Amino acid sequence: MPLHPTIAIVDDDESVRDTAKDLLDSAGLSAATFDSAESFLQSKGTWAIRCLIADMRMPGMTGLELHGRLASAGTPIPTVLVTAYYDEQVLLRALESGVICFLTKPFRPEDLLACIDAAMRGHEPA
């Protein structure tokens, strides 16, 4: 794992974490994986994260709650939420809170990469 990862993948599903990390590795991006929002918050390298990919539904804190907690703490990280359970109300709430992208699993690799690019550039995806 790189010393200073720029993208964090937070998902309780190991296969999703591994697949996303493999995709980012193949795109030349450095990434770190976490199995929960709590483990991400306890990590020491959060200051180096430029983009957060988080699962919407996880035991404990959800991806949206993690996004909100970071923003409330004054350390917002551009966030891409992913979910296997599409819910329009949650989508609207996420976008209103500043989430860059909201992808439904299974998502296309190019869609995730476009969202990461938008997040790291600091604007909405095209």
Q: 6: closest CA among 30, 24, 27, 40?
A: 30
Residue-wise pLDDT tens digits, 42-57: 998 787 899 999 999 9
Q: 107: closest CA among 55, 59, 35?
A: 55
Q: Is pLDDT at 40 greater than 90 in this prediction?
A: yes
> CB-hemisphere CA count at 13 Å for 84?
6
Cα 23 to chain centroid distance, Å, stands at 14
φ and ψ at 7, to 5 degrees?
Answer: -125, 130
Q: Higher confidence at residue 60 or residue 4? A: 60
For domain 7-120, give the CATH superfamily.
Response regulator (3.40.50.2300)
Element of type H or E holding 45: none
Domain ranges of the chain: 7-120
Residue-wise pLDDT tens digits, 57-105: 999 999 999 999 999 999 899 999 999 988 899 889 998 999 999 999 8
**pTM score:** 0.90
